[in-house]
Amino acid sequence: MLTATAEALSNIAFIKYWGNRDQALRLPSNPSLSMNLAGLKTVTTVTFNPEFKEDRLTLNGVVATGAALERVSRHLDLIRERAGIALPAQVESGNTFPSGAGIASSASGFAALTVAAASAAGLNLEPNELSALARRGSGSASRSIPGGFTEWQLGRAADGSDSYAFSIAPPTHWDLTDVIAVISAAHKATGSTEGHGIADTSPFQRARVAGAHDRLSACRTALLARDFERFATVVEEDAIAMHAVMMTSRPALLYWEPLTIAILQALPTWRAEGLPVCFTIDAGPNVHCLTPSAHAAEVERRLRALGVPTVLTAPPGPAASVVADR
């Protein structure tokens, strides 16, 4: 029996990935940059067994079928093909963060699945290869393979083998904390795979992509220098640019809710009062408030005072890894 367990963290992008130049291979239209979120973890065990008739999947203890199982099976096919095996698998996956809290689990999920399946299949892959492979399951999963602060480069190869993420700084580099205002746990009406597919229908996507390279290098420079003010400006600019594209694609994607906007309006005031905090938002209504850890409790207090029901806090976290035999 070929079995392995792996764990991987979710991540929050400072420079966003939105839109693909190759939808099937998940080759992005622009490079992106993110931070792994300690504590927001997926743990996945993959077991290949000739006695199984077909792939099976459980998510947080519940048997999954349909589209979720199909997506996992297609991803396992890539690994089986590479390892030269044709065995069905049992996949058991669980998140340490509340499921349905609107925290994307595809990044940590496909990163953990890739590392566990590759190890169970006996493949000995470099981190770059694991990252490029995780990318095929969910683009942002490529950034959850390396540790700390990571950059996902575009790559040039037609097969996508050099479109992977690498670490630009370890978790200890900067004690930034993601204070997440969880506004709605409702399931997204339009998932990101579909969203990437329609990004080019927005007249603003071309401009967003053209500016992404400069924003990424400004963000990288600010991050490496721990320059919060410059970091805040470019991170907010980039998030707004992505949501402008979402809102102007066909069909239009509007992820914000009233409380999302209330926080966006409050943040500049807090900053003017001397609280170093900035926002970014993924494909949902939750607001990720980034702040040096010394200010995380104050940011959380203010978010709750605005009426935010749930707040999660995550500092930078390590790379995905195989969990030693238990």
Per CB under 6 A, residues contacting ligand PMV are 13, 16-18, 32, 104, 106-107, 138-140, 192-193, 196, 282-283
DSSP 270-297: HHHTT---EEE--SSS-EEEEEEGGGHH
Contact 32, 196 (CB under 8 A): no
As measured in angstroms, the least distance from the Cβ of 297 to ligand PMV is 26
Tokens for 258, please give them: 């009233």
As measured in angstroms, the least distance from the Cβ of 18 to ligand PMV is 6
- Looking at beta carbons only, is 107 or 278 nearer to ligand PMV? 107
Q: Is 98 exposed, middle or buried (0-12, 13-18, 19+ CB in 10 A)?
A: middle
- Looking at beta carbons only, is 140 or 291 nearer to ligand PMV? 140
Tokens for 265, please give them: 């309006």
Closest CA to 226 of 173, 276, 267: 173
- Looking at beta carbons only, is 257 or 298 nearer to ligand PMV? 257
As measured in angstroms, the least distance from the Cβ of 273 to ligand PMV is 29
What are the distances in angstroms from CA 153 to CA 104, 139, 237, 299, 322?
21, 11, 20, 32, 24
As measured in angstroms, the least distance from the Cβ of 16 to ligand PMV is 4
As measured in angstroms, the least distance from the Cβ of 103 to ligand PMV is 11
- Looking at beta carbons only, is 47 or 280 nearer to ligand PMV? 280
- Looking at beta carbons only, is 47 or 202 nearer to ligand PMV? 202
